[in-house]
Amino acid sequence: MKKIIVTGSSGLIGSEVVSFFASNGWDVYGIDNDMRADFFGPQGDTRWNQKRLSEKYPNFYHHEIDIRNRDEILRFVSEISPQAIIHTAAQPSHDLAASRPFDDFDINAMGTLNLLEANRRTNSNIPFIHMSTNKVYGDAPNSIKLVELETRYDYADSFYQKGISESFSIDQSKHSLFGASKVAGDIMVQEYGRYFGMPTCCLRGGCLTGPNHSGVELHGFLSYLIKCNIEQKKYNIFGYKGKQVRDNIHAVDVVSFMDLFLKNPKIGEVYNLGGGRDNSISILEAFDLAESISNKKMIFEYFDQNRQGDHICYISDLSKMKEHYPAWHISKSIQNIFEEIYQSWDSRIH
C-alpha cells in the first residue's frame, strides 16, 4: 500500500489531496492542528472538514501535529516512511502576518524546512510538493503597464497576454511579511531539490478555491465573497475601484497537477499555478456573477486604501505547466467554481 503525508490536510487544498489519494487507494496520513481557527476565529475553523474526511475515508489517518515541532516532524516522517509528501499547511494571510510575524515565519519558513529535512533524512528520492504562492513576486506585478477597462484592469503590454511566467523577478518589491516568509520556504524547497538532487517543486498558487474552503475576509477571496452574498453581509472592497483581477483555480485542478508531478517528478521545479486568463475575474465581475446565481444583490463598502503589497492584476501564465505536463488542463470554469461554492455555503448555512 502506498503511503502519502499531507500537511494542512483539513484545509482547502489539503482536503482535496486527501480525497484524491484516499480514493485512489493510498494510505493518507494527514497533519493538521486547525491553526486556521486560531488565526481567523470560529469562522476559519476546519474541524468540520477533518470530521468529513475521517468519516468518508477509512484509509485516512488524522494526526494533530504542529509543523513547527521539529523533533515531532522528524520522528513522524521517519516512522511513516511515505512515498510522497504534499505540503499545503501555511499561515495564509498578508494582514495577519504583520501582527503575528513570529508565527508566520515559524510556520511558513521553518515548518517547511522541518519537513524538507525530515524528507531528506528518511528518503531523499521521494517527491516533495510545496504549495507556495504568487505573493513571492511581491508587488512587482504592479509595475506592469495596465489599461483600465469598464469592470477590470488588464495588461497593456501584449508580452503579458498569457499572464505572468515563472521567470518574473521576485526581487526589489514589497512582499508583505507573509510573502517574505513564503519566499524563504519556496527557495528552500528549490534548494533541497538542486543541492541534494531531491524531486521537489513549488506551486506558486494564485487564488486557490473550491467548495471546501472556509473563506474569511483575510483569506479566501471567492469563498468569502459568495458567503457574504448568501448571508447578505457587507463585503469590503479595498482600493483599485474593485477592478483588481485574480485568476482562480479549483482545488480539483490543483490536485490533478500534483498527481501528474508525482508520476513524473522533476528536480527543484517552480510552476505558476492558477486558472489562467479564462478563469480570471475582478471583484466587480465577481459581484455580478454571484448575484446572477443567488438572485441577491451584493452589499458592499468601498475603501480607497488598498492592502499593502496587493496585486492590481495577476493572471498566471500556465505555459510551462502545460509544456511539462501536456495531459494537464483546467477542468473547472469560473462559472463551475461559483456554482459549487454557492451550493456548498448554501447547504452549510441553511
Q: Which helix (H) or strand (E) holds 86?
A: strand 84-87
Q: Mind listing the pLDDT tens digit of every residue in the chain (350 residues)?
A: 899 999 999 998 999 999 999 999 999 999 999 888 888 888 888 899 999 999 999 999 999 999 999 999 999 999 999 999 999 999 988 888 999 999 999 999 999 999 999 999 999 999 999 999 999 999 999 999 999 999 999 999 999 999 999 999 999 999 999 999 999 999 999 999 999 999 999 999 989 998 877 667 766 688 899 999 999 999 999 999 999 999 999 999 999 999 999 999 999 999 999 999 999 999 999 999 999 999 999 999 999 999 877 899 999 999 999 999 999 999 999 999 999 999 998 887 76
pLDDT of residue 211: 85
Strands 245-250 and 313-314: what pairing?
Answer: parallel
Distance separating alpha carbons of residues 85 and 57, to the nearest angstrom:
19
Q: What is the pLDDT of residue 206?
A: 87
Cell of 258: 500534483
pLDDT of 218: 62
Task: Work out the number of other CB atoms within 10 angstroms of the CB of residue 329.
Answer: 13
Amino acid at 8: G
> Is the distance from CB of 253 to CB of 206 less than 8 angstroms?
no
The pTM assigned to this predicted structure is: 0.93
Which residue bears the cell 495596465?
A: 146
Residue 217: CB atoms within 10 Å = 18
pLDDT value of residue 347 = 85
At 35 the pLDDT is 86
Task: Give the tens place of pLDDT for each residue, 299-330.
Answer: 999 999 998 778 999 999 999 999 999 999 99
Q: Directed axis angle between helix 176-196 and helix 111-123, to 10°?
A: 10
d(CA 103, CA 106): 5
* Tens digit of each residue's pLDDT (9 = 90 or more) over 177-208: 999 999 999 999 999 999 999 999 999 998 99
Sequential DSSP letters for 152-195: -EEESSGGGTT-B-TTS--SSS--HHHHHHHHHHHHHHHHHHHH
Calculate the average pLDDT of the chain. 95
Among 49, 57, 76, 52, smallest CA distance to 65 is for 76
Rounded CA separation 10/71 (Å):
22
Domain 3-349, CATH among 2.60.120.260, 3.40.50.720, 3.30.70.141, 3.40.50.880: 3.40.50.720
The pLDDT of residue 220: 65
Confidence at residue 219, expressed as pLDDT on a 0 to 100 scale: 64
Nearest to 234 by CA among 151, 296, 184, 182: 296
